[in-house]
Structure 1
Amino acid sequence: MSAQLFTSWFDKYTKNAYLLSERRLIVLSGSDSWALSLIESLDIFSSALRANSNHATDSGHCLIYGDSGVFPANVQNKRYRDKLGSESDMIIFADSQFTIDAFAALSGTLKAGGIFFLIAPEIKLKRECSLFLRRFYSLIEVMPEHTVISQAKVELPVNLGNISKQGKQDNKQLYSFDCITAEQHTAVKAIKKVVTGHRKRPLVLTADRGRGKSSALAIACAQLLKAHEHNEFSIIITAPDTQALSVFYRQLTKSLGAIELQGNKITYGKARLTFIAVDQLIRERIKVNLLLVDEAAAISVYLLEQLLNSYHRMVFSSTVHGYEGAGRGFTLKFQKTLDRLCPQWVSLHLNQPIRWRENDPLEQLVFDACLLNAELPDLKTTIVPQPLFNSKVSSPHKVDNIKALDEVVFKVIPAKELVADDVLLKQVFAVLVTAHYQTKPSDLQLLLDNPQVQVTCLFSSQNKNADILAVALLMHEGKGHGVTIDDVRAVKNSEQRLRNHFLPQSLFSHCGFEKAFDFVCLRIMRIAVHPQIQQQGLGSKFIRHIELLAVKQGVDFIGSSFGVNPELLSFWLNAGFSPARIGFTKDKASGEHSALLIKALSEKSKEAQQHLHSNFYQSFDYLLLEEYKTLSTELVLLLLRQNTKEDLKALSAQDIANVWAFSRGERLYSSCSYSLYLWLKHELLSEAKYHSTELLQHSLVLIARLIQKQDSDSVCQQFGLTGKKMLNKHIKDYVYSRLTTLGYE
């Protein structure tokens, strides 16, 4: 095939794409040098490269990603997300690893009429080795707009894409505020109304990428800043990372014109807009007229709920089918929180694309290949606890759809079965997405191609059309899964991090457990219960099934790592898991520390778990003063109650006497504080249960003051106490009550 023939065909192909305002994929199946010989003959390639070299911002350019020596990359390997919000005329993807997250993210930058070149040598071999790629290329083959050109074939494809559609529609009609679509205009008005309307009526703005959502936020902010330039007016915007706001800031600069930028603050007269991180907003409760939370789906619902409790005029913006993470879990979970805290909240969804036509072929390919548009199925089944189930058996109405927990069916689903049944695959992935705010396209690739991964499900029955009630992804790690002595030595010397061995590697590197790789481990990577039937005990039932499976497979340790909050930690502790590690830094997306919890399943691992447990608590109090100083008091309470009395320093008769003296007002707090600290650690492990919310609140006050070593003012502010005198009275009352209840002598 000559370059001249290819150029002639390409000109017609791209003209057709431009007329239809769509983006397309061309797969060049052959060597990199052959692909280059075709691409470098194109005028658009030369123009794009000139734009790259001149750093032009007003003309198109070419993004090159991958590890090919023939196509030097201008997008860094792990910085592809930085390009979201920018625009390109052409993309060349020459990555031997086929990093699907990068593929999906970069596709969002391509303009209408643009071409995405995928350089793919040995497609046949890759399809045989990868279920994910087999499915990916099958999707390309059934979409007429995309094309595959093979080095082995002389002929060019006759097809130029679907030319029966209407010609290019100019949708650049400007509405007021410089909005491009009617939906965007409506969104701007809705954002502005949050400032002037009733309090506690947050707006939730959702859209797929390319719908003008971030621009709508910026346009509304510009209008508000202009309207309040002569008086004190504050807007705060937060996001998982400032890089997620590139489109927002670009549009804001365009809408405002001359602005003054000082660090993370933009001023317009007396009005100002400031970027502040989520954890700081929660910690400080800053006075603000409007708080915007962009890419809210990448922030845990637990943290969003804290924001809702602290601020009263808020807009939450989220990408629903995002290339960098899926947001349907956010939508489902956060809706419940909003219904409870702000029942008059407002929802607005942007449907119409701005940068390309509706049902754009490239967007559809990415959505279908990565299952970003997999819809959560509605359940026909109702799960009820066993006693209630027994009482309903005589009911003549819909008995077949009522299931007790003991009736659910546990299955392991092989990857080949999933890829052969696309309906089942979509349902499995849709349930998984609801449980995690950072689900990525590569999770699907992992699920289908990684031999260490198992997919397990709970079904409502054995029938083929049974409901999927819950899904878990399991990763087999450690002994027996390809780790060599050299690998362990490299990990020990910090020369290497092993993929697919998170649990033993964390125990080895962070917990100092040098025999970690001698144990067979099973990590629960994801576990999700269908939102319609949560809080029914199904998650705990699922864990028990997974444990039984692990025992059959000879697993020593089962474990999980997650962003820790009181709700999640309670779930895993109630399932019999114990903490092995809490991470020292917060996750940027969730604002939470990571937690690693484990459970020993074999005799040889139980002794090791006890050792890890003791090691964790040996340093926990010390780390609370610095590395763990931002842990919530509720989390600290849950963790302290997992300690054992054998690991605590014994209380002396003098310690008890000091505590009694303080409770009676005979001694000052400071002179008894160490004895109070020791006593409280023991008291939290007492067999007496906490019977009331009031008593629990009292214990939290003591934990914050005695164990977390927070100053009096901070404790009073956190728990609504009027001052130091009231704080001391609370501590005395609690101590005296527990001393008498528990019979301390």
Structure 2
Amino acid sequence: MRLRNVHEMLEDGSRGYYRHLVVIEGEYKPFLFEIINEYLKVNKKPLVGYYFHPWIVGSKERLSIIKSKFNYVKDIDYSSSEMYLGETFDVALIDAVDDFRPSYIARAVETVRGGGIAVIFSDDIEHEKLYKSTIVRDGKSFNFFEERFRRKLEDHRGIVYYHNGDVTLRPFSSSETSRPKRTKDGRFPILSRLCATDDQVKVLDEVDFLLEEGKKLLAVTAARGRGKSASVGLSLSLLLSLSKYPVVIAVTSPTYWSGKEIMSFAEAGLRQLKKKFRAVRSKDGKLMALEAGESRIRWLPPELARDSHGDIIVIDEAAALGKEYLDYVLRRWNKVVIVSTIQGYEGSGKIFLKFLEQFQGKHDLQRLRLDSPIRYAKGDPVERFLYDTMLLDVDNEGSIFLNRIEEIKVQDIFQSEESLRKIYGILVTAHYRNSPDDLMMLGDASFQRLFEAKDGAGVVQIVEEGGLEKSKVEAISRGEENQGHLIPQRLIKYLRASSIGHMKGWRVMRIAVTPHLQDRGVGTALLSHIEAVALKEGVDWLGSSFLSTPKVLNFWIRNGYTPVHLATKKNEGLGGYSVIVIRPLSERSKELVQELSTLLKDKLLRTSHQVYFNLDPIVIVKLLKATPKIPHSVRFNPILVERLRAYLEGIIPYNSVADAVHTLAEIYFKELSFDVDDLTLSCLVSRTLQGKSWYHAGLALGLKSSEVEDKLREAVSRILNGYSLT
């Protein structure tokens, strides 16, 4: 009876073009092979994607057994699974014997087409799993994520859940779904034939507005699996065909793989249009450029793309590159296409949509949203399960601040779906980057503390760090990773500040305020509350690590946190430089913070021209202002002062006095004897400390080249006046 019901479900899924999810836990082999055999009766030659960690003992043996059952199996390393997001399989077999990581699971399931199945198999999804081991501390962790995952398996239809011999099977009907379809040819029928939905045709119909005069911004957003990248790729081939002049298009994305669909469909579009072109591929087969006469579509990494020369820039998975990057591009380029996943698995948040609103009026903004899935039927039960279980569609419906802050228990919110959605909804709507892994961290980490600003106004998530034994501190000093103690690990490894490892600290992993209550003191109230609790519990320091943007830095500095470390390498995955700030609570931590922050100031003054050349100059100014003063006897060489005066009077150019301006800037930032506004100082920093050209300094600051030099002259004049040297 059990297998007959499964067979009927699989046949109905094939008719209705929807997917099934099978989760097998316990003694998995017998039922796994039963499911495989039943599916082979429905589809005799399926394409199979097998997801696993190939380097773990025993994993390749399991793969070999699976390969004996199918004609075609693509084995995929979890760590490189992003490369296969554009692939489509009839069956996804997800080996969760060694790992059960939500983001990997969600990514793998999304590669299954309608009528197919995703099968997760494991002896036990809770214990001795690779990702889970990063959440375990002193042998302790919670299992609230896994417990909720199991409850959801039993709640949803279209799911087969086998757990130690017991089977839960809730059938789904094809009468509740509708296949993806295209009913319109649109303005460009030749290319429309390659589209699966009317949503995709609409992108083709609207894209030619980029060829009109003026600053144009096209924003294409969708949940994953809607074919947004494919439709944009087809549209690029159309632009090359419609333009009367050669068109140069730069395509970029966080990684090549997250943007490859645009390049692939641009190539397919050129073929469909029968346009002569040359495809340029790398040695490992990546499609890097398409050349059609003098026109060109080329993929470039983000840092090269933003300053490249061309007519149009296309940014795929744009939210992942961060606001600072997009601000720069939208100043630098007149024609911009932004493509981003909303409610996806790669970290894009709904707050990204609010970011776009600020460009209304500055650019002619066209926003297109794709709703219809292309890989499976609308109403697909597996998509419903993933959205519900991973909280991909969670939202914050508004709240008020009751001037009350309370600590909340993780167990309590995971037992109440309403509470979980409220708390996690605040985190999602207040941050650009969220993923299912964050939900597992929230549910399973035993070394965290949660505080809520009632009622749903804000949340702060604390991670307990430090208090390490001597042997662990020495191990970190030798280069061993310890992500469970992020701030001590960074400061010990890079600054050799071993004493921080022995101190007890709280890292603010996340602080989020519901958007309509931001800038009203809720975040400050949360920090004040946790500081009071920390002092009572003998905590040495409070700290945080985050991407260094002006707005976020302002918040932390305003609340008494001191910058102590700035990463020397840009985090390409997050799109910026990470900064660590600390609020010392004990005397020993105060001394250390003073020392480390002074060193950071010196580092910025000495290395901004090479290490931090691409950092927002306003960030550098804020860091220099927030680090301690370095008192010394200021003695200005009279010749230096005369040269600066000659520059201000227009007698000599900047290049002739650059060394003197640099000396003046260094003295000012060390002394900080009087205040000069951030924008004026940013022009000084960008041109003098970072060594940018007038043009690139202007791009970084949103100014014209002439305005940058005017502001720099103003900075020189105001500093000289401050020292009574004019």
In which range does the TM-score fall when normalised by the shorter chain? 0.7 to 0.9
Pick from 686, 708, 717: which aligns with 2:672?
A: 686
Pick from 340, 356, 359: which aligns with 1:338?
A: 359
Distance in 2 (CA, whole Å) between partners of 1:307 and 1:712 is: 17
- Quote how far apart the aligned CAs of 1:135 are: 0.8
One-letter amino acid of the counterpart of residue 189, structure 1: D
Alignment partner, residue 254 of structure 2: 240
Pick from 209, 217, 220: which aligns with 2:235?
A: 220
Distance in 2 (CA, whole Å) between partners of 1:134 and 1:554 is: 34
Distance in 1 (CA, whole Å) between partners of 2:724 and 2:241 is: 67
The C-alpha deviation readout for 1:478-523, integer Å capped at 9, x for no partner, is 11xxx444433332322x3123211110111111111221011211
**1:62 corresponds to 2:49:** yes
Alignment partner, residue 231 of structure 1: 245
Query: Structure 1 residues 125 and 519, CA, compared in 2 at 3 Å: closer, same or farther?
Result: closer
One-letter amino acid of the counterpart of residue 488, structure 1: V
| Preserved contact between residue 63 and residue 88 of structure 1 (Cα < 8 Å) | no
Distance in 2 (CA, whole Å) between partners of 1:76 and 1:125 is: 21
Query: What SS does the aligned partner of 2:375 have?
Result: coil
Query: Structure 1 residues 600 and 203, CA, compared in 2 at 3 Å: closer, same or farther?
Result: same
The C-alpha deviation readout for 1:92-147, integer Å capped at 9, x for no partner, is 22224311110011111011111111213347989995111111111110113112
Distance in 1 (CA, whole Å) between partners of 2:633 and 2:446 is: 49
Task: Note the 1:39-54 alignment, pairs <5 A.
Answer: 39=35, 41=37, 44=40
Alignment partner, residue 471 of structure 1: 459
One-letter amino acid of the counterpart of residue 688, structure 1: F
Query: What SS does the aligned partner of 1:326 have?
Result: coil
**1:114 corresponds to 2:108:** no
Alignment partner, residue 721 of structure 2: 740
Query: What SS does the aligned partner of 1:244 have?
Result: helix
| Preserved contact between residue 320 and residue 432 of structure 2 (Cα < 8 Å) | yes
**1:658 corresponds to 2:639:** yes
| Preserved contact between residue 617 and residue 685 of structure 2 (Cα < 8 Å) | yes
**1:362 corresponds to 2:382:** yes
Gap regions ≥5 residues in structure 2 = 65-74, 133-140, 282-287
Distance in 1 (CA, whole Å) between partners of 2:501 and 2:38 is: 53
Distance in 1 (CA, whole Å) between partners of 2:33 and 2:229 is: 39
Query: Structure 1 residues 337 and 279, CA, compared in 2 at 3 Å: closer, same or farther?
Result: farther
Distance in 1 (CA, whole Å) between partners of 2:645 and 2:369 is: 61
Query: What SS does the aligned partner of 2:47 have?
Result: coil
The C-alpha deviation readout for 1:65-87, integer Å capped at 9, x for no partner, is 35663523922131122221111
One-letter amino acid of the counterpart of residue 707, structure 1: L
| Preserved contact between residue 15 and residue 115 of structure 2 (Cα < 8 Å) | yes
**1:487 corresponds to 2:468:** no
**1:566 corresponds to 2:550:** yes
Bigger mean CA offset, 200-209 vs 440-449: 200-209
**1:99 corresponds to 2:101:** yes
Task: Note the 1:64-463 alignment, pairs <5 A.
Answer: 64-66=51-53, 69=59, 71-72=62-63, 74-95=75-96, 96-122=98-124, 130-153=143-166, 159=169, 161-163=171-173, 165=175, 169=179, 171=181, 175=185, 176=189, 177-178=192-193, 179-196=195-212, 199-228=214-243, 231-257=245-271, 259-262=277-280, 264-282=288-306, 284=307, 286-288=309-311, 290-332=312-354, 334-339=355-360, 341-342=362-363, 345-379=365-399, 381=400, 408-459=403-454
Distance in 2 (CA, whole Å) between partners of 1:548 and 1:510 is: 30
Alignment partner, residue 525 of structure 2: 541
Distance in 1 (CA, whole Å) between partners of 2:120 and 2:156 is: 15
Task: Note the 1:537-616 alignment, pairs <5 A.
Answer: 537-616=521-600
- Quote how far apart the aligned CAs of 1:687 are: 4.0
- Quote how far apart the aligned CAs of 1:167 are: 7.8
One-letter amino acid of the counterpart of residue 374, structure 2: I
The C-alpha deviation readout for 1:680-699, integer Å capped at 9, x for no partner, is 333344343336xxxx5543
| Preserved contact between residue 45 and residue 90 of structure 1 (Cα < 8 Å) | no
Query: Structure 1 residues 170 and 601, CA, compared in 2 at 3 Å: closer, same or farther?
Result: closer
One-letter amino acid of the counterpart of residue 337, structure 2: V
Distance in 2 (CA, whole Å) between partners of 1:513 and 1:135 is: 41
Query: What SS does the aligned partner of 2:12 have?
Result: helix
Distance in 2 (CA, whole Å) between partners of 1:576 and 1:313 is: 41
Distance in 1 (CA, whole Å) between partners of 2:332 and 2:499 is: 46
Distance in 2 (CA, whole Å) between partners of 1:733 and 1:139 is: 62
Query: What SS does the aligned partner of 1:610 have?
Result: helix
- Quote how far apart the aligned CAs of 1:562 are: 1.4
The C-alpha deviation readout for 1:242-271, integer Å capped at 9, x for no partner, is 111232233222222264123532112332
Query: What SS does the aligned partner of 1:665 have?
Result: helix
Structure 1 length-normalised TM: 0.83
**1:508 corresponds to 2:492:** yes
Query: What SS does the aligned partner of 2:567 have?
Result: strand
| Preserved contact between residue 541 and residue 584 of structure 2 (Cα < 8 Å) | yes
Query: What SS does the aligned partner of 1:90 have?
Result: strand
One-letter amino acid of the counterpart of residue 299, structure 2: F
Distance in 1 (CA, whole Å) between partners of 2:504 and 2:555 is: 24
- Quote how far apart the aligned CAs of 1:350 are: 1.4
- Quote how far apart the aligned CAs of 1:225 are: 1.8
Gap regions ≥5 residues in structure 1 = 52-58, 382-402, 460-465
Number of matched residues? 677
**1:707 corresponds to 2:720:** no
Query: Structure 1 residues 743 and 250, CA, compared in 2 at 3 Å: closer, same or farther?
Result: closer
Distance in 2 (CA, whole Å) between partners of 1:208 and 1:247 is: 15
The C-alpha deviation readout for 1:335-377, integer Å capped at 9, x for no partner, is 44234644x5232221111111222111111111111100221
Distance in 2 (CA, whole Å) between partners of 1:469 and 1:408 is: 9
Identity percentage over the alignment? Answer: 21
| Preserved contact between residue 491 and residue 509 of structure 1 (Cα < 8 Å) | yes
Query: What SS does the aligned partner of 1:437 have?
Result: coil
Query: Structure 1 residues 700 and 166, CA, compared in 2 at 3 Å: closer, same or farther?
Result: closer
Query: What SS does the aligned partner of 2:77 have?
Result: coil
- Quote how far apart the aligned CAs of 1:273 are: 1.0
Query: Structure 1 residues 563 and 734, CA, compared in 2 at 3 Å: closer, same or farther?
Result: closer
Pick from 517, 520, 531: which aligns with 2:515?
A: 531
Distance in 2 (CA, whole Å) between partners of 1:186 and 1:618 is: 54
| Preserved contact between residue 629 and residue 672 of structure 2 (Cα < 8 Å) | no
Bigger mean CA offset, 35-44 vs 521-530: 35-44
One-letter amino acid of the counterpart of residue 420, structure 2: L
One-letter amino acid of the counterpart of residue 315, structure 1: V
| Preserved contact between residue 618 and residue 679 of structure 2 (Cα < 8 Å) | no
Structure 2 length-normalised TM: 0.85
- Quote how far apart the aligned CAs of 1:169 are: 4.5
One-letter amino acid of the counterpart of residue 72, structure 1: L
Query: Structure 1 residues 524 and 212, CA, compared in 2 at 3 Å: closer, same or farther?
Result: same
The C-alpha deviation readout for 1:451-496, integer Å capped at 9, x for no partner, is 112222212xxxxxx3x122222111111xxx444433332322x3
Distance in 1 (CA, whole Å) between partners of 2:163 and 2:93 is: 16
